[in-house]
Amino acid sequence: MRFDKNLLVKLCKLSGARSIASAVPELRIYEVGPRDGLQNESKFVPTDIKVELIHKLASAGLKNIESASFVSPKWVKQMSDGVDVMNKIKRQPDVNYPVLIPNIKGYEIAKKCNIQEIAIFPAGSEAFSQKNLNCSVEEGLKRFKEVAEQAIKDGIRVRGYVSCVLGCPYEGPISPKAIAKITEEVLDMGCYEVSLGDTIGVGTAGSVRRMMQEVLHVATPDKIALHFHDTYGQGLSNLLAGLEFGIRTVDSSVSGLGGCPYARGASGNLATEDLVYFLYGLGVNTNIDLVKLVEAGRFISNFLAKPTESKVNRAIADRFKNNHDIIAIASCTT
């Protein structure tokens, strides 16, 4: 099946791509594949494979790559080699390699690995907090405040996640006002940014807009990132709704890897390949080599012996041999 470039041009014009491109001159991509993407895989990924994936993502041009987690191996065995991963990475000076931290114990271990940024992750619902953190939302916030204060004291940047912002597998829909309140508390801890996660992928453009209207009462757009799972295929439309509010940071996972061990049925994150292709179509320059990104997605999918969840990866990996061909199609040039 061949691409109809004329049809793509029409679709881009209908979507208002050029006007959006002028409003979104650039967008920061926060790659979470090596951590969030792999944590739910039943097949253990050896340290060397994780490290090679991180190297391939950096080579493709990604500047923020969440690389490891320091949660208890008892609960997430896949992340049990965090120390080894961080010590084996050949770090590029212009690339950020953040790690996920559950508590002060995990932070003290991570600190020995020459980290520059950590992420903390309170939940947006009481039931999910009990399942994921074994404590209430309030208790979780206190725990993470202790971590954030120590990290800032040590000169380490802190990012915050809030999970289940649009829906919880145990409680159902979540109040936008509740998410705004938690977001404000996380920012007050000293986090430079809060990533709002639709952990089970139930959000729509409408629910994203309602949430953003409340969150932006307590935060400016430059302090907010969006983290969408693509369970119902709404990841890109939800992203577009977020861009309308001036959001400029988006989390994604190579090959659409992901899921959540405490959210049964949740599928992977928005695929980084799909995100980059989408942004090229809007005229937004990501400075990411899409060919190398596709290769990174194929590398980890082949190891896992599973098909890539990225629609772009499926469509173009065997049809286009260089980045210029892919960009020409994605940009809808004639």
How would you label 42-79 residue by residue, b for 16+ Cβ within 10 Å and e otherwise?
A: eeebebebbbbbbbbbbebbbbbbbbbbbbeeeebebb
Angle (nearest 5°) at CA 273 between 39 and 119: 40
Which residues are marked as active site?
A: 260
Q: List, for residues 154-203, the tens digit of each pLDDT value.
A: 999 999 999 999 999 899 999 999 999 999 999 999 999 999 999 999 99
pLDDT for 281 equals 85
Q: List, for residues 300-309, the tens digit of each pLDDT value.
A: 999 999 999 9
pLDDT at 259 over 80: no
- Cβ contact 162:215 at 8 Å: no
Class of the CATH-defined domain 5-330: alpha beta
For residue 108, what are the contacts with CB-CB under 8 A and spacing of at least 6?
none
Mean pLDDT of 274-287: 89
With bands split at pLDDT 50, 70 and 90, how would you rate the model's confidence at 327? low
Q: What gap in Å lies between CA 63 and CA 287, rounded to an integer? A: 10
3-state secondary structure of 91: coil
Mean pLDDT of 273-281: 93
pLDDT for 223 equals 98
- Cβ contact 269:37 at 8 Å: yes
pLDDT for 4 equals 43
Task: Name the maximum alpha-carbon separation found in the chain.
Answer: 57
pLDDT at 10 over 50: no
Mean pLDDT of 288-313: 94
331: closest CA among 30, 18, 29? 18
**For residues 225 and 325, which has the higher predicted lDDT (pLDDT)?**
225
Q: What are phi and psi of 8, to 5 degrees?
A: -60, -40
Arithmetic mean of pLDDT over the chain: 88
